[in-house]
Chains A and B, each alone.
Chain A
Amino acid sequence: MYGLGVLKGMGVTLKHFMDTYIEDIQFLGKGKKTDAAFQIRQGSRARSLGLFTVEYPEEKIAVPERFRFIPFLVTNNLDDEENPGKDWCTSCGICPKVCPPQCIWIVRGTDPETGRPKPEPEEFHIDIDLCMNCGLCAEFCPFDAIKMDHDYELASYDRSGHHIFDKQRLSKEFRYWRSIAPTISAEEAEARGGWEHKDTLKEKAKAARAAKPTQESAES
């Protein structure tokens, strides 16, 4: 019969429509926008073919650990005992070299006494209008000092005044990185051999090595 195909197709639409309400019944009283409901609605095992939409901003999908949006700089925690707030960046220059849109500007620090370069950035700028969120800087940083952020809600009223991030705006405590990427930061710490910065760990190991022979000689 001519038109049967269209009718059957409409049946699919009707089923979708009904499914949406049938699915909602199970959330009656409990609310549709809870974590538990979200698991059911957005999980891979969701049975229903009802409405699939996430109602932003009343609910948002939490992003996974590897999500990348605008880099930030890792610093020591502000309550760190030895060097509170110290930059992890050593201004080695790998991130500006690998950055595809060339949105990273670093002024390498110089030691005021000797005039020689010292391993910390004097200025660090990222033009977030240029940044393409590729994550190569974080991937190739040998010091785990630049990481990709998760906060994607960065709308501002004025492009010219707010979209070049300076060092202060970019810097975030190490504890923040641990909170948004628990497994990755743990893997990195394991590779470094501790939770601190690579260089700090090296110095500590060196000090320990230096302390050990004197101890031994004292004993003998």
Chain B
Amino acid sequence: MAEKPVAEQAGVAAPDPVAEILAALSEQYPDAVQADTRKGYSGIVVRPEKLVEVATALRDQLGYDYLSSATAVDYLGKGDHLEMVYHVYRIRQGGPALVFKALTPRVSATLPSLISVWPGADLQEREAYDLMGIRFEGHPNLKRILLWEGFNGHPLRKDWKEAYYEQDQKPFDSRWPGGKVHRAEENNPYGRNVSYPDDFTLEGYTPPDENSIYAGLGMGVSMQELASPGLETERLIVNLGPHHPSTHGVFRMIVTLNGETIESLEPVMGYLHRNHEKIGERNTFIQNMPFTDRLDYISSMSNNFGYAMAVEKLLALGARYQPPPYRAEVIRVLMAEFTRVVNHLWAIGFLLNDLGAFFTPALYAIGERELILDFFEATAGSRLMCNYMRFGGVFKDLPERIQGIPLLTNDRVRNEPTMDFLDSLINERLPRAVDELDRYLTKSEIMITRCEGVGVLPPEMAIAYSTAGPVLRASGVPYDIRRSDPYSIYPELDFDVAVRYNGDIYDRYLIRLDEIRQSIRILKQLLPRLRETEGQPIISGTKAYSPRVPEGEAYGRVENPKGELGFYVISDGGQNAWRYHVRAPSYINLTALSEMCKGHKIADVVAVLGSIDIVLGETDR
């Protein structure tokens, strides 16, 4: 078993669906579609005028019913156009992605909206509008989402420069050999880096008010109307949040109420926005690895995994690529599954917080998490920000012992062989903890009353809104990337895709318990594999700090605990990514939030949000 080559995760083995689909499409739309023939690229380029028709055909005739990712790329200096890139999947059959693209000039920057075909395009198109400045015709609510109204420019465009801008790409020349230290904040942030609109003066400037947010609620109630006296209405706008970070993060929901019932809901986000993708484009490939930790900071290990896979797919376009060795894959899956356990324990604990059971269930749930984090710390060097995966393998092999080195006063030492530690953790402690949580919560009448039948998301809607992960599977769609588009060593592991059918909060709670149990099942199978492969290499080739990444595009996706995490990376052959996009499950799952909440009471909103399980580090990026 040990010598068996790892399942081709480089996307080489999977049959290329593009030619087949292209043939089918060109029959219907002879002039509208053509293959993307650029070096290292794949997929179909669609003429913008026919985009909606082609997309409809893809969905209805060819079975691509799930829009996973929609993002824009700026090719400044490389053709000077903007490009919208869509990744679609067949959710019933599984299989690899179909990529199609639509081009538009940088100045006019207009494309038809695909929201009528896949409603899940909603937030993603708004993001592309916000950060890249593409206007989507037919989008009902096209306004900024991560940045505020009144922000000048579109920051993911290549000619946009941030405050304290130093240089287009790292490493900065000012650091070595003549590296005189200075603080960026001692510079003027509004120096030549920032551009203002032509008619702009700072004097007398008042920031635009929030009417546009309220106007976007689409319920025909204006603020003036609500504020004016004597108007007889039972409607009310309530702002929930921006919350304190200790709940779910700084997230805000604007709900319109009729009495206590929710009529519409608008998520407002971006309070934690730092333009992760721009930072990623400034970074060299390896430099970006620790930044991925900071996306969904509960599950940094699997973030690393997805990013490493995306860049490995790019590396595989080159001649001398070697896939990660078997032991590296075993360790990666071990880490990813531990992460899933950690994340779901956390999600369950904090769902109970949202239901009003403050912190007792949460602390019981995250007790075992401590031990898993201790293991991460001993292996990777950090509990949360693991930065553990490398292109072609992992940072270091598992340590021999989980051992503390006393240094500070009052340091207490733990000292156990790693394999014993894992053995008792996986075989005893974790199953016991899950069973206890099950006993503690599942049958509780309060839990059932609050959760059953609330926030229902029917399966068709779950697919249409591009939800992923536990949210999708709790709605009766057994779609799990580990099975439907397998990567790493998942094909040889024995586990079931958990699925529940009611699509309410209660099922989203139950499915997390199911998934923890399935993860423990996988972890148990990994223990003998770890023992067998002891001493084998954990990284292929030599570790380089600036690997040569061939030109091309790649989309690496993993089944993160919160759903499909995808990294769309474009390399132009240089040291840095030309485009780096994160398909964030926390963000896209929120597209369906409004639908889930409609018709429920205001007290249920927070519970519904808790059941989606978002992390704002990933939502806002």
Contacts and interface: CB of A to CB of B under 8 A. Distances in A.
Interface of A: 2-6, 8-9, 12-13, 16, 33-35, 38-39, 42-45, 49, 52, 54, 57-68, 91, 93-94, 96-100, 102, 104-108, 117, 123, 125, 127, 132-136, 139-140, 148, 150-151, 153, 164, 179-183
Contacts of A66: 377-381, 396, 399
B436 A61 contact: no
Contacts of B444: 5-6, 8-9
B443 A8 contact: yes
Given A9-B439, A16-B364, A148 B446 contact: no
Given A49-B436, A150-B407, A105 B445 contact: no
A96 B179 contact: yes
Interface stretch (B243-251, B418-426, B467-475): B418-426
B179 A107 contact: yes
Closest 6 CB pairs of A and B: A62-B404, A105-B179, A5-B443, A108-B177, A134-B290, A125-B181
Nearest to A66: B381
B528 interface: no
Contact of A52 (B370, B409, B421): B370
Contacts of A34: 412
Contacts of A139: 395, 543
B2 interface: no
Interface in B367-389: 367, 370-371, 374, 377-382, 385, 387
A132 B283 CA distance: 14
A5 B176 contact: no
Contacts of B291: 100
B408 interface: yes
Contact of B377 (A2, A9, A38, A64): A64
Residue of A33, A35, A38, A100 with most chain B CB atoms under a 10 A cut-off: A100
B290 A63 contact: no
Contacts of B192: none
Contacts of B385: 132-134
A107 to B, nearest CB: 6
A12 B440 contact: yes
B286 A98 contact: yes
B405 A93 contact: no
Contacts of A6: 444-446
A138 B406 CA distance: 21
A175 to B, nearest CB: 13
Contacts of B233: none
B194 interface: no
Contact of A102 (B170, B382, B441): B170
Given A43-B414, A62-B412, 9 more contacts: A44-B420, A44-B421, A44-B425, A61-B412, A62-B406, A62-B408, A68-B381, A98-B545, A136-B387
B440 A9 contact: yes
A67 B424 contact: no
B277 to A, nearest CB: 15
Nearest to B182: A105
A98 B287 contact: yes
Contact of B410 (A2, A44, A59, A117): A59
Nearest to B184: A130
Contacts of B288: 100
Given A44-B425, A63-B404, A106 B379 contact: no
A164 B179 contact: no
Interface in B271-313: 283-284, 286-291
B175 interface: yes
B371 A44 contact: yes
B413 A62 contact: yes
B412 A33 contact: yes
A64 B418 CA distance: 12
B223 interface: no
A59 B74 CA distance: 53
Contacts of A135: 381, 387
Contacts of B171: 96-99, 102
Nearest to A141: B545
Interface string B432-461: 100010011111111110000000000000
Nearest to A153: B408
Given A58-B410, A64-B399, A181-B405, A102 B175 contact: yes
A16 B256 CA distance: 42
Interface in B127-179: 170-172, 174-179
Contact of B367 (A8, A44, A52): A52
A201 to B, nearest CB: 22
A65 B399 contact: yes
Given A9-B440, A93-B176, A182 B410 contact: no
B360 interface: yes
A62 B175 contact: no
Contacts of B425: 44
Nearest to A109: B177
Nearest to B422: A44
Contacts of B546: 97
Contact of A13 (B180, B360, B377, B407): B360
B411 interface: yes
